[in-house]
Structure 1
C-alpha cells in the first residue's frame, strides 16, 4: 500500500490547564497555531501588536495550556496488522506532554524538535488527542534553580530563565521585539500510515576544483522496508541523468557511490543559474521521496595576507562579496507566516542586490519555505545554531537535547544549496569576554576540561557541534560563533568576522567614520530608524500618542537608550524638526546615510584576488517580528525604508564611490571649518562582474547654494573596471574651487564667501548611466537647503521624473503596504532627471519630503 497522510489541522479546542469546566474550551481555527493567536481569535485578549497591549497580556507566559483534538479514525486508514500508523508532530512549543485516548505517548522539552510516535495500537474509532503545554518561563526559572550549583547562568537581553530552555530565545523579548511567550502546536500535526516508508534521501558530495565532476554518496533511510529494493535517481529538467537500484541494510540504510561528469551547477544570483536536480528515492509502490538539490563548490577562504587572515566565500571558483542582511524571525507568532511571505522576503533580497542572509541564533531553525526561496532565487545563507547572548549550560540532559536538535535540523536542511555556513551561536563569546569566563584557546585543547570550566559552552561550540556537522553534512563550513576569529578577541579586525556596534552602541562613532571600523567580515552593524507613517499610525492608534518621545513611542522601541542614541545621530547631522512626519524622515535619512557610508566604504575593501580586506557586510537587520521602530531596513509589513535602497545602490554589480577626508566637528576645540577647507577626495569603482568593463567617468562639482557647477567637470575618459575587484581611480585628489584663501587654515574663515559643493560622479558604459555617487560636505546640518525647486513630470501612469535646480538631499516618498517604488530616499543634482517607477498608487497621491523641505510632508504635483 502507498503511504497515506491525514492532517489533523481542524477540530481543535484549547483552554487554561487550571480550568475545569467544559465551557472553558475554546475553538482553534486551525493548527499549526500558538496560544496568543487563539486567544486573540476568541477575543480574549487585545491585539498585542497595538499600543501598550503587550503589557496587558504578559500573564499568558506564566500559565499552562491544553490543546485537544477530537477526531474519528480517518476512513483513509486501514486496520491491517501489517500497517503502521504514526502520529507526527513537527513542532511543539515547548514543554509538552502528549496523550492519546488517555495514554501518555510523548514528553518534549525542545521547541526545535519534531516527533514521530507509533500509535497503531492506540488508535480507535473515536479519538482524543491532548497536548499540555507547561509555562516555558516558569519551567526555565525552575531549571536555573535546579542547575545553579553546577553552572552560572549569565545572560544578556531579558531574563535568565530563557537560557536552559530550548525555545526561540526572542520570545523572552529582545532589543527589537516584545516579550510574547508563545505555546502550542506551532508546526503541523498529522497521521501517516504505511507498510514501509522512505524517511529521508540525501547526498554527501563535492564538486571538483575544476568544476568538471561531482561525486560522492547518495543515501536513503527507510522504515520497515525489510528486503525490498530502493531505486535512487537523479533528474535534471525532467530527464533522468543517473539511477541505481540498491538493497536496504539491516539498519534501514541505503547507500551508494555516484559520479556525474560536467554537472550543471547552482550559483548565487548574478553569477550564474540556480540549477537544481531532483533527487528521488522510490520504494516499489509503497512510497517515494524527492528533493530539489543543487551542486556547487562552496569554500570559506581563510588565508594569511597583508591584513591578517582573510574571511570570504568562494562559490564555484568565484570570489563572492557577501553583502546582505541578518534575519530575525519574521513574526512574533511563527505559525501565522505563510510560505508566500518567506518568498516575498527573499525576492526583496534579490531586488536589493543582497547576496547573503544570516539567520540569527536567537530565533528558530527556519522554515523550509525560506530555504526553498533562497535556493530558487540564489541567495546564500549563513545559519547560526540557536544560541544567543548567554552562557549556556552543558549538563547531560541538556547536551542530549542539543545533539538531537542539531542532528535533526541538519538532516532537514542539508540538501539546500543556498546554505553555505553554520555558526555555533550569536555573541556567546562576547558573554565570555564580558564576564571573564575561562577561555584558553591555544593552551587548553581538551574538550573534557572545558566542561569543568566557567565557560562550558565551549564544548558545545568547538567540539560537539563541529563533530555533528562533520557527520551529518561533511562538506559544509562550520564556524564556532558569530563573531569569532581563531580564539582572538571578538573585536579583532584582522581575523574572522566581527559585529561592528561602535556605530549606534559602544563608542557611538559617527557613521562618517566607517573607514575606521572595518574588519575581515562585518556580520552585524546597524542604525535605527522609524518605519513609514502608515506603520507607526497602525501600531499606535491614539493620535495624542503619535509623536516622537510619547509614552507609546518609547515603549515600542525596545533598544537600550534608544532616543538618546537616535537623537544624537539626528542632531549631529541635521537641523531637527520634531513632529512625527519630519522626525520620521530624519531618522530614515540617518539610517540610509549610514548604509551608504558603510556599504560603499567596506565594499571598497573587497580589493582584488589575494587582497580581500573585507569579505562581506551584513546589516542588522533586514526585518522585524512586529510593527516597531528598529534597525530593520524593511518593516514588519515588508515596507522598505530608504536604507534598503541605499544598500541596493552600494551593492550594484558595478558601483562607484566617492569619499572626502573625514574631519571631526564635535570634539572639544575641533575646527568645524576643516571639512569645508579640505578639497581632497577619493574615487573608485568596485565590480562583481566576471570580466573587465570599459567605463567612462565624469565628476562634477555643484554648488549646494546655487546649483551651478563651481568648476568644469573632471572627465576621466575611458577606465577599465577590473573584474570582481576594486579599481582605485583617484586618491586624495585635490580640486581648487572658489577662493583659494578659503583653504588657507592660517587665515580667518569667511563663511559668507564659502560656497559648499557636492562632488557627483557618473559612470557610463557607452551611453548608459550605470552608477552614480554623491559626496556632500559634512555635517549636513551646516548647509542651507532652502529653495530646492523640486519638480515632477509624469512620463506615464507609472513612471515619474523628478528634477531640481539645486542639489537635494534625501527625497523620500511615503511608502505604504501597497506602494511599490523602484527607488526612494535618493539625492538629486541639477541637470540629471531622476526616473522612478511607481505602482500601487496614483502619482498625484504620493507624498514626499526632503531635507529642508518647507513642510514635513508634501503632495506630488505632476506635469505631463
Structure 2
C-alpha cells in the first residue's frame, strides 16, 4: 500500500504547500537570472548567446558553431570544447542591495565574479551554491568563469602524488578522457562502455537572486514514520530557515485530506536553523477514495532455513516484495536537453525527435510491469521531476551515490565537497517515498576486493582505509543521521561485508546481498550459467538499436556491421563480435547479398538475441524466488542492465535513445508480468512453474491454477496436441511447479513430434480464464528446427475509435515477429512475438499525429526466416 498526501504549512502567517519536498521563496523576493546570457571562450575567438540553464555544447550547436554532437564521429571531433575555458556573462538590475546569489547547479569548476570581484568558487556539479553579496545601484555584471574539467582533473591527479588513485584512464575503445575520479561531476561524461565522452561545462540548473527581510525558507522535507505497535502514522517535517535576526514564530502543519493539523511555537535564531516537527495523523485507510504517499520500507537480511548466509530483500508495508525492473543511466549527455520546461512537448534534440523524455521513459518502465529502477552511480542525481513522476507512478527507486568503478581520493578538500554533496542530495530527496534505499557506490567494493586495478598486496590496506573513510565514516554517517536506509556498495554482501571490514573477500557471494553478473560467451539459453543469487541488481546483454534510430546520425557508408562507424560506436571491448557469437549459438546469421538488408537484418538478430537471453535469465530469477537448492536461491529481485540509452549506439538498453522500445522491452512486459508461467528443462524433464507476485493474489490461500500446454509443429499453424495440468493451489509470492513431464514422454504422446520438429506454448488459467501472458519453450535451437519456413506475413493497417491497429496474416509459424514503424515515433501493444495463429491484431500508439496511409508506408515486418 502506497499512501499520498499534501502537507500544508503555515509559518508566522505565511501559507505553503509541501508536496515534493523542496521549496524556496518564504518571505523572499526572487529574481530569476535564467534566460539569455553571453558565452565566450578563453581567448575570445568565440562569442555567442547562451541559454541558462544550459551547457557550452548546447549553445555552440544552437548558434551553428558545431553540428549535432551525436552525428557520426563528432564526439571525437569536438573534444576541443572540453579542453578550453569558458565564461558565462549576464547583466541585471535590482532595487535591493543585500541578496543571496544562488546557483542550483554549476558544471563544474568555476570562479564567480560580481562587478569585477570574486565572490566564490565551485568544484562540484552536484552541489547548490549560495553566496551572500551586496549589489550596486544600476547595472550589475555577473560572470561565471568555467575551467576545463579535463585539465582540472589532470591537475588534481598530478597534485595527488603520494600514491595513484586508479583507474588512470578509460579503456581505449571508449575514446574517453582521464582522471574523472578526481572531479565531482557526472562520471560517465568522460566516457563509459555505453556512452560518448562529452565532459560538459555550463550552468546546468537555474540561477537566481533571493532577497529577504527576516526569514528565508531554505528547504522543507518530510519523512513518514510508522509505529507498528500503535498502528499509527506520523510525519516528521524538517524546515531549514535562514534568519537575519532572532525572531519568534508559529508553525502550523496540516494535511486536510487526513483531517490532521497541529500548531507549534518556535524561535528562529540568527543564522541557519533546522527545526523538526512531528505531526500525528488521524487516518482512515480507505484507499478506494484516497491515495497518499506514505509507506514503510525494510531491507531484510536474516538467516534462511536450509541455507548458509542471509536473505536480502525489501519488505514494503510489511510485505516481502520481489523487485522487478532495470537500471537507469543519464537520458542525455547534455542535461539541459531534458529540463522540465521541455518535457511535455515534442522537440528536436540535436536532430532527434524526443517525446516527453522523462515521463515517456518512466511510463515505459511501468508499462513493462516494472516496479523498481536503480539510479546508477556513474551519472547524476536526477532532477526533482524525475522522482515526482516515480512517486506518482509507484516506481521504487534504488538510489546510488555518484561514485562508480573507481577508487577515489580522500584528501580534505575532496572529502569536504563530498560531504556537502551528500548532505544536500539526501536533504533534497529524502521526502520522496519512491526512494527505498541508498547505495554508496557502484562496484567499488568488488573492484577493490577482486583487484580490478592491480594494486600490490602491500598497498592494499591504504586503499581499504580510503574506502572506509569515504563511504563509511563520511557518506554512511551523513545518511544515517537523517534516517535513510543505506548500504555501502553494489554488489555487496551487505551485513556480511560489514562484518568483514566493509570489503568482503568475495562481494559476489550468492549467499548474501546483491550480485552483478555478465557472461557473453557462455550459452545464455542454459539457465545453469546464471548465479542463483539472493538479488540480481545487474545483468544483461548488448544489442544494436533499430536502423531508424541510427539513420539520422550516420550516412550510407556507415550502414555495415563492419564499418568504421559501427566500430566507433561500440565502446565495449569486442562487443560487436560477442553479440554475433552469442546469436550464432541458436540462430543462423544474416546472409543477404544486399548490403543494407544484411545490416538491418543484423541489427534485428542482435535484438532477438538480447531479448531471448535476458528473458531466460530473468525467468530463472523469478522461479528462484521461493526455492533453495544447495544453499542458493530465495532470489528477491531482478534489475537488468539497462533501461535507457544516452545516444544512438549499441548498448545493454531495452529502450533506444529517443524512446523506441527494443524487442527486449516488449519481452519485459511478459517476463515481469504479475502472473507468469516459466518453462525450463532439467535432466531431459520439462518443468513449468507458476510465478506469482505477492500482491497479485491478495487471498492468503492463493488461487487454483492450471496450465494448458499446446504442442505445435514448425510446419503447421494447427496444434498437434494440447495437454492440461491438474489444478494446483498457488499462493501469492511464490514460484510453484505446476507441470512436470519427461520431454520424451511428452513428445511420444503427441504423434510424430521430435525435438527438431515441434515447439511448445503454454499459459496459466484459473476459473475466470487466462491469467497473464502466454509463454513458449523451444525444444531445439531455431537454427536446427526442421520445417521452419518463411511465413510471408501480410499486414493491414486500420483505424477505429481506439486508434490505429495492424492486423497480421501468417502462412506458417513465425518466431520473433517484429513490427517497425520506421520514423513514426510510438509503440505497439505487442512485438517480437511468436506467431502461432493465422491472424493477429496489435494496436499502435503514435506519439505524434499520423495516419493509416503513413503507417502503411513506413511499416516493415520481419520474422526469423526473413533474414536468411
TM-score (norm 1): 0.85
Q: Distance in 2 between matches of 1:125 and 1:319?
A: 62
- Between 1:652-661 and 1:420-429, the stretch displaced more is 652-661
Deviations 1:550-569 (A, max 9, x none): 11111112111111211111
What is the aligned partner in structure 2 of residue 545 from structure 1? 558
Note if 1:776 corresponds to 2:778.
Answer: yes
Call closer, same or farther: CA 1:164–1:587 in 2, change over 3 Å: same
CA positional deviation for 1:838: 4.7
Call closer, same or farther: CA 1:430–1:60 in 2, change over 3 Å: same
- Between 1:6-15 and 1:712-721, the stretch displaced more is 712-721
Residue correspondence of structure 1 range 170-569 to structure 2 within 5 A: 170-195=188-213, 196-209=215-228, 212-215=231-234, 217-224=236-243, 226-237=246-257, 241-249=261-269, 252-262=273-283, 275-276=291-292, 294-305=293-304, 306-307=306-307, 308-339=309-340, 340=343, 341-435=357-451, 452-453=462-463, 456-471=466-481, 473-485=482-494, 486-487=496-497, 488=504, 489-502=506-519, 504=520, 508-513=522-527, 516-540=530-554, 542-569=555-582
CA positional deviation for 1:163: 1.2
SS of 1:736's equivalent in the other structure is helix
Note if 1:736 corresponds to 2:745.
Answer: yes
Contact 1:246/1:256 (CA < 8 Å) preserved in 2? no
Runs of 5+ consecutive residues of structure 1 not aligned to the other structure: 267-271, 277-293, 441-448, 663-677, 744-751, 857-864
Q: Select the residue among 662, 677, 692 that pairs with 1:656.
A: 677
What is the aligned partner in structure 2 of residue 826 from structure 1? 833
Residue correspondence of structure 1 range 597-608 to structure 2 within 5 A: 597-607=616-626
Deviations 1:574-621 (A, max 9, x none): 111151221111111111111211222211112289997111111111
SS of 2:585's equivalent in the other structure is helix
Contact 2:238/2:277 (CA < 8 Å) preserved in 1? yes
What is the aligned partner in structure 1 of residue 819 from structure 2? 813
Note if 1:788 corresponds to 2:795.
Answer: no
Q: Distance in 2 between matches of 1:474 and 1:768?
A: 44
Deviations 1:275-328 (A, max 9, x none): 34xxxxxxxxxxxxxxxxx32110111111134321111110121111101011
- Between 1:147-156 and 1:177-186, the stretch displaced more is 147-156
SS of 1:371's equivalent in the other structure is helix
Taking only aligned residues, the RMSD between alpha carbons, in angstroms, comes to 3.1
What is the aligned partner in structure 2 of residue 667 from structure 1? none
Call closer, same or farther: CA 1:60–1:681 in 2, change over 3 Å: same
Contact 1:234/1:240 (CA < 8 Å) preserved in 2? yes
Note if 1:647 corresponds to 2:632.
Answer: no
Note if 1:124 corresponds to 2:137.
Answer: yes
CA positional deviation for 1:415: 0.5
SS of 1:170's equivalent in the other structure is helix
Contact 2:35/2:53 (CA < 8 Å) preserved in 1? no
Q: How many aligned positions are there?
A: 785
Deviations 1:663-709 (A, max 9, x none): xxxxxxxxxxxxxxx46343433334133233342111111133443
Q: Distance in 2 between matches of 1:320 and 1:439?
A: 39
Q: Distance in 2 between matches of 1:420 and 1:126?
A: 47
What is the aligned partner in structure 1 of residue 704 from structure 2? 694
- Between 1:183-192 and 1:722-731, the stretch displaced more is 722-731
CA positional deviation for 1:501: 1.1
SS of 2:268's equivalent in the other structure is coil
Call closer, same or farther: CA 1:130–1:753 in 2, change over 3 Å: closer
CA positional deviation for 1:215: 3.1
What is the aligned partner in structure 1 of residue 765 from structure 2? 764
Call closer, same or farther: CA 1:679–1:717 in 2, change over 3 Å: closer
What is the aligned partner in structure 2 of residue 62 from structure 1? 83
SS of 2:765's equivalent in the other structure is strand
Call closer, same or farther: CA 1:243–1:703 in 2, change over 3 Å: farther
Deviations 1:819-852 (A, max 9, x none): 3211111111237845445545536345344444
- Between 1:177-186 and 1:542-551, the stretch displaced more is 542-551
- Between 1:239-248 and 1:126-135, the stretch displaced more is 239-248
SS of 2:540's equivalent in the other structure is coil
Deviations 1:488-508 (A, max 9, x none): 312211111111112x3xx54
Q: Distance in 2 between matches of 1:53 and 1:163?
A: 24
Contact 1:484/1:497 (CA < 8 Å) preserved in 2? yes
Contact 1:204/1:475 (CA < 8 Å) preserved in 2? no
Call closer, same or farther: CA 1:732–1:325 in 2, change over 3 Å: same
What is the aligned partner in structure 2 of residue 586 from structure 1? 605
Call closer, same or farther: CA 1:721–1:834 in 2, change over 3 Å: farther
What is the aligned partner in structure 2 of residue 162 from structure 1? 180
Q: Distance in 1 between matches of 2:261 and 2:633?
A: 39
CA positional deviation for 1:509: 4.5
- Between 1:752-761 and 1:599-608, the stretch displaced more is 752-761
SS of 1:222's equivalent in the other structure is strand
CA positional deviation for 1:520: 0.9
CA positional deviation for 1:362: 0.7
Q: Distance in 1 between matches of 2:563 and 2:229?
A: 61
Call closer, same or farther: CA 1:194–1:430 in 2, change over 3 Å: same
Contact 1:230/1:254 (CA < 8 Å) preserved in 2? no
Residue correspondence of structure 1 range 68-79 to structure 2 within 5 A: 68-73=89-94, 77-78=95-96
Contact 2:157/2:182 (CA < 8 Å) preserved in 1? yes
CA positional deviation for 1:807: 2.6
TM-score (norm 2): 0.85
Note if 1:685 corresponds to 2:691.
Answer: yes
- Between 1:101-110 and 1:240-249, the stretch displaced more is 240-249
Contact 2:480/2:486 (CA < 8 Å) preserved in 1? no
Contact 1:682/1:732 (CA < 8 Å) preserved in 2? no
Call closer, same or farther: CA 1:414–1:685 in 2, change over 3 Å: closer
Call closer, same or farther: CA 1:144–1:10 in 2, change over 3 Å: same
